[in-house]
Structure 1
């Protein structure tokens, strides 16, 4: 089993997946899966082996010995094992994928936290005194992911038309290497309309950058150090955590800027299809499933709007209720 998994990583995952995907799967295989299951012959692996392995990881799977792993972490191990065995089935090494007969751990959906309008303005006001004001402004006013924002170049922005084009993402590997990659899906490549205030913030940011640098290159990063080198993702996240704590908004993650952007737009009656396009979701169903519960009153507002449209176009009075 161990030999097959290492070959699978080298011959399949590393060739067909993004470096971050390979890195995550390699970590789970080397640190957890091979130590527990690696000595088993591939064809001898049974559902009971996997079910017992997941149970052990949930109860005491931490490397430091301080308790069990989360359901999400163990579920990721299940997905890795399932993918590896599915490849073995396609190659004729196995007759069936025994992971199909295993119940993976239940993953609790984390509670979503968002800023309201007052909280958003308080955070932005505090951010003005930091080097990350423009970056956090773009996060909140476009809903882009951290990896997408940190990969933006000046050539990706049209301030005259008020558009930003996301066509790549920045990641930092465990080795410290910075990589830029195209989005995972076609929906990740998108044009996002900028609000007038976002355009003003970016113009001011560009003016500040030009004052600090000898020249500003079109292919240069928008959000970077003075020497043009990329900002480290974890550094940006730590700066955000400190900022929201100072504002009394602890618990709001940087990724929650994305949720905040979507929920405020939905509350204002923006069509979910537009929100989907701005966020780069693969389907409108994903958008609706993720954000419908954070916009209370949408159903009532829709019913009232329908009532107003229909009754306004009719001169007849509403029918009397049937008795």
Structure 2
């Protein structure tokens, strides 16, 4: 597992900004969604007014490039994830661009359309996303950071800022809070130190 620092997240996003995948990678870093969940998202899954999205399916590529859509495996995987204001704005901008492309082709954007697509409107292939992530990472000089590490980064940074592990579990769709704690045990020492310092500040009288 490798995670990005706050500064490295900014660096990756600035590099991705000039690519067609900016919104997708932004959403990956700001929600911790799996690649398969990101690619299966439709506009009907997102409420930009409420600032949230719903996860209920995943997209996979079979041998030969055939795309299949599956329902999420567990009840925990089917979930609602809150979006930050900046993420909502990125998605609004992405939607406007997609609508413009559709109009040029004489089409209209429908709620049942996938959010992340090729120019022809077909879903993106998982390997296409991974390859473009690698290109961006190489440009930033952060070799070795996988797309799945965007998920780890989201979880680790949330835990470091004091977000309760239960919330992180719900956002990631882990089957239990124990999975979250076991996966991100490397963050625990820092959390304990911060908790001890906070308790000191609360109780100690100078």
TM-score range, shorter chain: over 0.9
Which of these two proteins has the greater Rg computed from alpha carbons? 1
User: Which residue does the alignment assign to 1:126?
Assistant: 15
Query: What CA distance in whole angstroms lies between the structure 2 residues aligned with 1:307 and 1:120?
Result: 32
1:279 to 147, 172, 178: 172
Matched residue of 1:187: which SS? coil
Give the 3 Å change call, closer, same or farther, for CA 208–295 of structure 1 in structure 2: farther
Matched, 1:166 2:55: yes
Matched residue of 2:76: which SS? helix
1:138 to 12, 16, 27: 27
Conservation of the 8 A alpha-carbon contact between 1:263 and 1:295: no
User: Which residue does the alignment assign to 2:75?
Assistant: 186
1:4-42 Cα deviation digits (max 9, x unpaired): xxxxxxxxxxxxxxxxxxxxxxxxxxxxxxxxxxxxxxx
1:268 to 143, 157, 161: 161
Query: What CA distance in whole angstroms lies between the structure 2 residues aligned with 1:236 and 1:302?
Result: 39
User: Which residue does the alignment assign to 2:99?
Assistant: 210
1:65-108 Cα deviation digits (max 9, x unpaired): xxxxxxxxxxxxxxxxxxxxxxxxxxxxxxxxxxxxxxxxxxxx
Provide the TM-score with structure 2 as the length reference.
0.94
Matched, 1:247 2:140: yes
Matched residue of 1:218: which SS? coil
Query: What CA distance in whole angstroms lies between the structure 1 residues aligned with 2:199 and 2:80?
Result: 31
User: Which residue does the alignment assign to 1:222?
Assistant: 115
Query: What CA distance in whole angstroms lies between the structure 2 residues aligned with 1:225 and 1:239?
Result: 13
Provide the TM-score with structure 1 as the length reference.
0.61
Matched residue of 2:39: which SS? helix
Query: What CA distance in whole angstroms lies between the structure 2 residues aligned with 1:294 and 1:236?
Result: 28
Query: Which residues in structure 2 correspond to 1:50-199 (within 5 Å)?
Result: 112-199=1-88
What RMSD over aligned residues (CA atoms) do the two structures have, in Å? 1.3
Query: What CA distance in whole angstroms lies between the structure 1 residues aligned with 2:186 and 2:31?
Result: 21
Gaps of 5+ in 2: none
Does 1 or 2 have the higher relative contact order (CA < 8 Å, sep 6+)?
2
Deviation at 1:154, TM superposition (A): 0.1
Gaps of 5+ in 1: 1-111, 319-323
Query: What CA distance in whole angstroms lies between the structure 1 residues aligned with 2:179 and 2:185?
Result: 10
Deviation at 1:296, TM superposition (A): 4.1
**Structure 1 stretch displaced more, 171-180 or 134-143:** 171-180
Structure that is richer in strand per residue: 2
Query: What CA distance in whole angstroms lies between the structure 2 residues aligned with 1:215 and 1:156?
Result: 18
Query: What CA distance in whole angstroms lies between the structure 1 residues aligned with 2:3 and 2:133?
Result: 14
Deviation at 1:175, TM superposition (A): 3.6
User: Which residue does the alignment assign to 1:84?
Assistant: none
Deviation at 1:297, TM superposition (A): 1.5
